[in-house]
Structures are given as structure tokens and as C-alpha cells.
Amino acid sequence: MKVRYSYLPQQFADPEPIFEEIRKLLKTGDFTLGKEVARFEASFAELIGTKYAIGVGSGTDALKIALEAAGVKAGDEVITAANTFIATVGAIHELGARPVFVDATPYYTIDAEKIEAAITPKTKAIMPVHFTGEVADMKPIMEIAKKYNLHVIEDACQSISAAIDGKNAGTIGLAAGFSLHPLKNLNVWGDAGVIVTNSDELNKKARLIRNHGMKNRDEIEIMGRNSRLDTLQAIVGNWLLPQTKFITDTRIANAKKYDDRLSQLKDFVTLAPRRANVRQVYHLYMFEVDPKVRNDLVKFLLDNGVDAKVHYPIPLPLQEGLKQFGHKRGDFPLTERQADRVVSLPVDQHLTNDQIQYALDMVEKFFKNI
């Protein structure tokens, strides 16, 4: 049996409704921003529960423009998670700001207890990452931000529809960035991203920045750039948004199936604590094993048709491309430990129960034979 990682061919098996909308668009010539983008933004804001949603070119741009609109500039420091995808750090770095890393919790988000020690006079913002579909501990993070007068911009790229203490990921800080990249839970046909915020001021500024700083056709209010949400991608997004509940609920149900059987392999498998106050939406389904067998397990799964992956084998602060930040092994013990131990299994909404049970059979078989 094959348990593939990419489900995109299934997701878009019947593209006719999307093509139909694109045909309609062709007749209007309304190819940049326009009605489809406005419709997408309104539905997305409603889905997340914010006053505004602003469509931009990618998730990275969403984070970057949100930081910029909040006033982060060259020379500032932004505190973020050591355990994240490179794009979080790229967004900070592209503004000329410096990423300051903080180690992870056992549930793969920034450790709020270690944030205060990382604050300096240059700190301007905190960017917690809702990694894997978890939600960072926003309550203590917001308290620290208030105490030191810092902005909080959430990296919610992996966490559409996740929640903590009944609040949706992306609604707690000043603003948040989401990604609609093909690998994310809600995915379009290329790059796209969304900023959400309740702030009138940040909304206004982010809208200006994404469209050359143009107030209208004739007037430039500030320096901006071109990072508009592509209108064709907005059409795909409009088709997909009504499926968010199905996508999220199915991922959560699939994760429960994995949890039920993996939690019986206590001698070999460790699961992150499942926090009762968090709705984890399982962008990634991860578990941890002994680092001595991790790579063998991944190979065994791949050899048996299960597309297991590792997110990620090299802790970000120790990557070659980030050596300018001067980190060494031992700086982020939990992030490093996780990099040696984690395995991800496909968890998407198009998996069948047989595929999930087969993937679990293969994990069990591996541990029976060692």
C-alpha cells in the first residue's frame, strides 16, 4: 500500500468549478486585486474572526509586511522560535532586523518562559510560531509584550483554524500571517498569503505596502512594493475556503487515530502533550523516537510505501546559511533534541482509514523487529 505525502491531485481532482470562475474572470479582465480578492479577504477575515484580512503574495510576505506595518525596521530585534521553518526568519531578516531565537516547548512552539531573558533595548517585536498546527502559549507571551511594550505578530502559517483558550490562532497578537502555499492546510495553486488584524491602522498600512504604497491611482503615500494576492489564486482560495471545516476536522480525526495506536507503543514512541485548552489542527503529525533508530525508522517506512518525513533534521539556528547569528550546538537544547527525534506521517483529509492503519502497522512492525 502507498501512503503518499502529497494529496494535491486528489484535492483538485475536479477543477471544473474553478475553471468556470476563471473563464468568467477572463471576460472582465479584472486580473489584479478586484472582486475575487476582496471576496476572499472578506471570507478569510470571517473564518479567522478578525476585522480585516489582507491578501498578499506569500506567507513570508504576510509576516514581513505585518512586521513592517507594525514599525519594525533595520537594526531592530525580533524574538522568534528556534524551531520553525526558515520563512519566519527570512521575513525578519529581509527587513534588516535581527532574529533572536528562543528554544521550544515539548509541543514545538516557543517557550514563553525563556522570552524575557532574550529581550534587549533593541527588541521591537515577538513573533511566536504556531508550529505544526499547535498554538504558542499566547497568554504569557501577550503579558510579556505588554510589560516591555513589544508588538506581537503571530506566524500562523501552519495553523488555520487552530485555537487556544477558545481564541483562534491569528486573532491574539497585533496581526498574524497565514500561508496558502500548496503544502499548507488551505492551499492554492502557487504562492499566496494573508495578513489578519483587528487594527485599523495596521490594516491601512499593510494595504498600502502590498500595492506600491499607492493611496489611489495618482498618489503614493509611503514606499511600498508589489505583493498583491494574485487574483487567480484568490479564485482557488474562494473555492477552497468553504472546505476549511472539513479539512480541519478530518485532520484532527486522523491524528486521533494515530494517537490511539502510537500511545500504546510507550517504550518506543513519545507524543507531545495534548493540551486540553488547544485545538491543534495537525498541519504536521509528529511523534518522537530514540535518535539511534530515527533514520532507520524513516527509511523502513519509505521502503514500505509510507512517505514519512522529518521536520526538520537540522535545527534552524545551526544551519550553514544562518551562521552569521553565531549559534552553536547546545544553545537550544530542546529544539536540537527534537531535530534528532521527530518523524512526521501524512495526516491530510484525503487519507483513507486503511492508509492510516497501514502506516501504523508499519511503525509497529519496525519496533517489533528491533
Q: Which residues bind ligand PLP (CB under 6 A)?
A: 58-60, 84-85, 87-88, 129, 155, 157-158, 179, 181, 191, 193
Q: Which is nearer to ligand PLP, 345 or 363 (CB)?
A: 345
Amino acid at 224: G
Instruction: Scan for cell 502590498, then name that residue.
Output: 210
Q: How many secondary structure helices (H) and strands (E) does the chain include?
A: 12, 12
CA distance between the termini of the chain: 23
Q: Which is nearer to ligand PLP, 286 or 363 (CB)?
A: 286
CB of 283 to ligand PLP, least distance (A): 7
Say if residues 259 and 286 touch (Cβ distance below 8 Å).
Answer: no
Q: Which is nearer to ligand PLP, 157 or 306 (CB)?
A: 157
| Phi, psi at 345, each rounded to 5° | -115, 150
For 258, counting Cβ atoms within 10 Å of its Cβ (0-12 exposed, 13-18 middle, 19+ buried), the class is buried
CB of 181 to ligand PLP, least distance (A): 4
Query: Which residue in 122, 188, 125 sits closest to 155, CA to CA?
Result: 125
Q: Give me the residue whose beta carbon is nearest to ligand PLP.
A: 59
CB of 192 to ligand PLP, least distance (A): 7
CB of 109 to ligand PLP, least distance (A): 11
Give the SS3 label for residue 99.
strand
CB of 327 to ligand PLP, least distance (A): 19
Say if residues 136 and 112 touch (Cβ distance below 8 Å).
Answer: yes
Strand order in the sheet with 167-168: 167-168, 163-164, 278-279
Q: Which is nearer to ligand PLP, 124 or 181 (CB)?
A: 181
Q: Which is nearer to ligand PLP, 58 or 168 (CB)?
A: 58
CB of 111 to ligand PLP, least distance (A): 16
Q: Which is nearer to ligand PLP, 107 or 366 (CB)?
A: 107
How many Å apart are CA 57 and CA 210, to the nearest integer? 8
Give the SS3 label for residue 89.
helix
Instruction: Scan for cell 507594525, then name that residue.
Output: 70
| Phi, psi at 251, each rounded to 5° | -60, -40
Say if residues 259 and 272 touch (Cβ distance below 8 Å).
Answer: no
Q: Which is nearer to ligand PLP, 191 or 265 (CB)?
A: 191
Q: Which is nearer to ligand PLP, 111 or 191 (CB)?
A: 191
Q: Which is nearer to ligand PLP, 179 or 355 (CB)?
A: 179
Query: Which residue in 91, 154, 98, 146 sits closest to 122, CA to CA?
Result: 98
CB of 358 to ligand PLP, least distance (A): 27
How many C-beta neighbours within 10 Å does residue 332 have?
A: 25
CB of 57 to ligand PLP, least distance (A): 8
CB of 62 to ligand PLP, least distance (A): 7
